[in-house]
Amino acid sequence: MSDFTSNFWSFYVTGISLVGIGACLLLLWFSGRAKAMTANDNTTGHVWDGDLREMNNPLPRWWVWLFIITVVFALGYLVMYPGLGNYGGTFGWSAVGQYEAEVAKGNKEVEPLYARFNGMKPEDMAADAHAMAIGERLFMNNCSQCHGSDARGSKGFPNLTDKDWLHGGTPDKIIETLTVGRMGNMPPMAAAVGSPDDVRNVAHYVLSLSASPHDSVKAALGKSKFSVCAACHGADGKGNQAIGAPNLTDDIWLHGWGENAIVAMVNNGKVNQMPAQAPKLTESQIRVLASYVWGLSNKPGAVALK
């Protein structure tokens, strides 16, 4: 790790760049100074195809000057632009800076498009066909990679078309989720639950909470052990949106259903991350996108979830 926190690689890249340019100049100087053994007719004695003789003529002047100009250009470029390790160049250009400038320019160009939505409530935007068309495009470009083009998600990625929300499904909560992202973390709980049999009993009790197929005897044995899980999921298993703990009573399984899936979750835990969209999207874009997502599980004009 020290190789990536020290200046070694900066010096290494700088050295390689300058040595390479210096070697080109040295090669040019040497080729002009070196004298080949020639005959009286200025040939080297090498003959091909019977009559092709190698001459010992100097390099063409235009080629030499073009070579020198190329070297000067390379040195000038390294002074003005990044190329010598940590040195940023006199122009201060960077790929990140150019990217941010282009994004800012693009956002400024589309700003008038979002201006008409700035004073609208998310619920009203969800009923606006123009806003939803823009929201759908934002969703396809930024969210569908995980949640699917139909927003129904897949294993490990929440379905956004139902009313099951880990952190709350109000427009404000969706805006918050999009803006700052979410980090879900269920720690491994097997040691706290007890033996492997205890873990399987808890799994059957969890299945019983949603009336899923289960072994009632094992579920009864696992009920007392569920107290370890109740700290996050609640004594009734209905979850806690304040910390993103899932509701275990609704028969919606984000990471898989059945005894084995629940046992694996208890034994190994799970970490899930929803990346923040604020670095990519403007505040207006996030509001339109949040309205679109809210509208997926609420009819246009419906009252916001409480």
pLDDT of residue 306: 31
SS3 label, residue 100: helix
The 10s digit of each residue's pLDDT in 164-178 is: 999 999 999 999 999
Whether 21 is in a domain gets the answer yes
Whether 87 is in a domain gets the answer no
pLDDT of residue 208: 96
The 10s digit of each residue's pLDDT in 104-133 is: 999 999 999 999 998 899 889 999 999 999
Query: For residues 43 and 114, which has the higher predicted lDDT (pLDDT)?
Result: 114
Shared domain for 171 and 191, answered yes or no, is no
Average of per-residue pLDDT values in the chain:
90
pLDDT of residue 9: 87
SS3 label, residue 84: strand
Whether 92 is in a domain gets the answer no
Shared domain for 144 and 42, answered yes or no, is no
SS3 label, residue 245: strand
SS3 label, residue 303: coil
Token representation of residue 238: 């209905």
The 10s digit of each residue's pLDDT in 50-104 is: 778 777 777 889 999 999 999 999 999 999 999 898 888 999 999 999 999 999 9
Shared domain for 279 and 164, answered yes or no, is yes
SS3 label, residue 87: strand
Token representation of residue 131: 């806003």
Whether 95 is in a domain gets the answer no
Shared domain for 191 and 151, answered yes or no, is no
Token representation of residue 2: 């020290």
Query: For residues 56 and 48, which has the higher predicted lDDT (pLDDT)?
Result: 48
Whether 206 is in a domain gets the answer yes
pLDDT of residue 54: 79
Determine what percent of the chain is predicted with pLDDT higher than 90: 76
Shared domain for 261 and 134, answered yes or no, is no
pLDDT of residue 59: 81
Q: Residue 195 sits in which domain range?
A: 185-274
Instruction: Indicate the angle between helix axes 8-33 and 61-80, nearest 10 degrees.
Output: 170
Shared domain for 220 and 259, answered yes or no, is yes
- Average pLDDT estimate for 249-278: 93
Query: For residues 263 and 257, which has the higher predicted lDDT (pLDDT)?
Result: 263
* Residue 305: pLDDT over 60: no
Shared domain for 72 and 45, answered yes or no, is yes
Shared domain for 219 and 289, answered yes or no, is no
Shared domain for 283 and 141, answered yes or no, is yes
pLDDT of residue 37: 66
Whether 90 is in a domain gets the answer no
Whether 260 is in a domain gets the answer yes
Whether 303 is in a domain gets the answer no
- Average pLDDT estimate for 209-225: 95
* Residue 303: pLDDT over 50: no
Shared domain for 289 and 256, answered yes or no, is no
CATH number of 129's domain: 1.10.760.10
Residue linked to tokens 């990044």: 82
Q: What are phi and psi of 80, to 5 degrees?
A: -90, -30
Amino acid, single-letter form, for residue 15: G
pLDDT of residue 281: 94
Q: Where are the beta strands (DSSP E) in the chain?
A: 43-48, 52-55, 182-186, 270-274
Q: Where are the beta strands (DSSP E) in 230-287?
A: 270-274
Helices (H) then strands (E): counts for the chain: 14, 4
pLDDT of residue 52: 84
121 CB-near residues (< 8 Å, 6+ apart): 171
The count of structural domains within the chain is 3
Shared domain for 285 and 143, answered yes or no, is yes
Shared domain for 43 and 70, answered yes or no, is yes
SS3 label, residue 157: strand
